Each structure stands twice: as C-alpha cells, then as structure tokens.
Amino acid sequence: MKPMEIKKGIYWVGVVDWNVRSFHGHTYNTSRGTTYNAYLIVDDKIALVDTVYGPFANELINRIKEIIPPEKIDYVISNHVETDHSGAMPALMKLCPKARVFGTAKCKEGLYRNYYENWDFQTVKTGDTLKLGKRTLTFVEAPMIHWPDSMFTYCREEELLLSNDAFGQHYASNFRFDDEVEVCGLMDEAKKYYANILWPLGALISKKIEDVLKMGIPIKMVAPAHGIIWRKDPGKIIKSYLGWAKNETKPKVVIVYETMWKSTEKMARLIMEGLTDSGIEAKLYDIADADRTLVIGEMLDAKGFLIGSSTHDNDMLPNIAGFLELLKGLRPKSRFAAAFGSYGWAGGAAASIEKILKEAGAEIKMPSISCKFVPDSSEEIKCYEFGKDFAKMLQ
Ligand code: FEO
C-alpha cells in the first residue's frame, strides 16, 4: 500500500494491521483489525506525527522512504506514548538521530521508561506552536484521553486535527476516509472504541471537546491514530463523542447472562418477550459465547441493563462475573439495571449481581427475579412481566 496524501504535502504513512484480533492485553477484541496511523508533513521543515506499533517499524520506514529519505525528518511529534504509536520510534530515530521529539512532560517520561533513549526532547504545553514553513502546528494537551501523556496536534492552515486515540476506531481498511467505507460499520467501531476505552473518562472528554471548540479552531478533518480519517463530516464524530461523554442514552435494554442448564437462558428469553411486546429495543447475549467488546459497545447508548446468571457455589458463574468486573471499571452512569437467574438448592447469583451493579454505578429500582430449577408456567409469566415492568420504567 502506498502512502496516501490526505492534504497537499501531508501523507498517511501508517500501517494496516489486518489480522490483529485482540488488543490491550486481550481486553479488547479487534474483530475488524486495526490501523496505526502516522502522518508525515512535508514543508520547509519535515515533521512526522506519531509512529506505529514496533513490529511494523519497517513498513512505516519504507512508506516514508517513498516520499523523503527518513534522515530528512526534522521533528517527530509524539501525541501519545503507548507502544502502538511509539513502538517504531527506536528504529526510526536511528535513521534521523538529530530529529527533535515533541510531546508532553508525561510523554517525555513515558518514552524514556519504555525505550531508555536520550532523544532531543522538547516538552510542549497547550497553545505551544511549531512553525514548519507554510504551516504551523499547535499542541493541545489532552490528559487522560486516554493516558496522562495524551495530546492533540492541530494544523490551522489545513484545519486538520491529529487527535491520536480520540475519535479512532479499530477498523482495518484499504481505504482511508469516512466517505469511502460503509458508515454503519465505521460508527459501530467508533462506538465500541469509545465504550471500551473512553467510557469512564466522559467528564474529561466533554470538557476537552468544549475547550477545543471554544478556542474557535475550525476543524475540516479529524485524523486519528487508529482507523479511518473523518473528512466528510468530522462534526458527526465530535457530536457523537459529546453525546456519549454526557451519558446520553435511549430506551434500549441489553440483556447479558450466563446459563448452566438453560433455565437462566429461558428466563432471559421470556424477559426479552416482555420488552419486545412493550416496544423496547433490546439485545440479548450469552456472555460465555459473546464478544464482550461488542456487548460493551451495545451498552453505551442503552438506558437499561438486565444481568442474569445461574447460581454456582452460592454466587454467579465465572464468565458473567468477569464481564461485570469489566463493566464496573467502565463506571456507567445514569443506567437502570436489574438481576435475574435460576438456582438449584440455594440462590446467591442475583444478590451478587445486584451488588456489583450498584458498585458499577447503576441504579437498581426493581427487585431481582429468581427461579428454582426450571421456571414453571406461573414463573414464566412473572419473567415476561418482569420484562414489561422494566420497559415501563424506561419509557
Ligand atoms: Fe492507540 Fe492509547 O493507544
């Protein structure tokens, strides 16, 4: 794949990682692969914004070589120290050892602790600029979006925001722009990315976006460090981020359960019938088989969570327990939740689920529902009514 000129004299020189299927130590399933986007700005001075994951360093370097010899790079901007963006720096810096590296103070510390190299480093803060010639780059610190070192780089002349992880998606494609790919799949991946990585940081994200908008900087293109570049309608992803950051939801329910001998699953399906007959959008997942990254993505805009498990050793089953730990870490706000499940000789799962849902920040307004062994006909009706009552609460 050749470098792609995204603006006159500005090139995508990143890498498409078609086959990666897990990320962040297997916490994120990258079912559509991903990209590591790096951008080369050729002006009187030459700047590279971000690199790629270390195993792809040669691919980055070869792509740069199609435009300029790497030794001509004057500046390397490190928007974020995480290794999927900085991993190729040691190999690259060997080819341009005099290049000055720019990043936040936390970036400086992080790069050193990852690579133990003494590169010429200039620490930058929000509002600092770097003149390249016709173009000037402005740096905007973005701490905790999503690491303490994170920052954005903005090019006013091109109205281009190089946002690193923010606005990204784990989406591999041989195309580079939002108007070249299927929009539903793209937005699904952007939503999954936000939900699984940025959800707990909503307050910081909405403040940062509002601060950037207040700076009055026009943005015609948002080029993140993963996935597709937003050029058709960059406002769409910015608006979506603002909504997600403010925990905007719709009357939608995600049912997630784990079942031992299918009784809890039967309950889940009956509850789903109640929701469906109430006209509520709902999704249902057996977490033992489901892609939990996708499930978390579905939960982002859902007002209600219904979580079920059979009882095992007086507690919930281990897959749902692991999933709830993940959900707790994401700290969802302004959600209603309830628990359900079957048991044999003693219960326990529903109470454990309620406890962790409360710790996650969800509001429990309805008592849980439990059935001994297999639901009988009256319990089947109760499960159906449980779905209808939950729907009423959301409407
Ligand atoms: Fe894509 Fe935080 O790294």
Using CA atoms, how far residue 71 sits from 39, 79, 111, 120, in Å, is 16, 21, 21, 15
Q: What is the mean pLDDT of residues 177-199?
A: 97
Q: Say which CATH class 4-245 falls into.
A: alpha beta
Q: What is the mean pLDDT of residues 358-384?
A: 97
Residue closest by Cα to atom 3 of ligand 1: 82
DSSP 145: S
Q: Say which CATH class 253-394 falls into.
A: alpha beta
- Closest alpha carbon to 355 in 309, 389, 387: 309
ω into 146 cis (within 30 of 0): yes
Is residue 169 over pLDDT 90? yes
CB 308 within 8 A of CB 337: no
Distance 165 CA to ligand 1 centre (A): 5
pLDDT band at residue 121 under the 50/70/90 scheme: very high
Q: Taking the model in full, what pTM does it have?
A: 0.96
- Exposed/middle/buried for 74, CB within 10 Å: 0-12, 13-18, 19+? middle
Q: Judge whether 146 counts as a catalytic residue.
A: yes
Which ligand 1 atom is at minimum distance from the Cα of 164?
1
Q: What is the pLDDT of residue 83?
A: 98
Domain ranges of the chain: 4-245, 253-394
Which protein residues are within 6 Å of ligand 1, measured from CB? 80, 82, 84-85, 146-147, 165, 225-226
Span 284-308, pLDDT tens digits: 999 999 999 999 999 999 999 999 9
Residue closest by Cα to atom 2 of ligand 1: 82
Choose, from 50, 141, 226, 257, the residue flagged as catalytic. 226
Span 38-64, pLDDT tens digits: 999 999 999 999 999 999 999 999 999
Paired tokens of 11: 């090139």
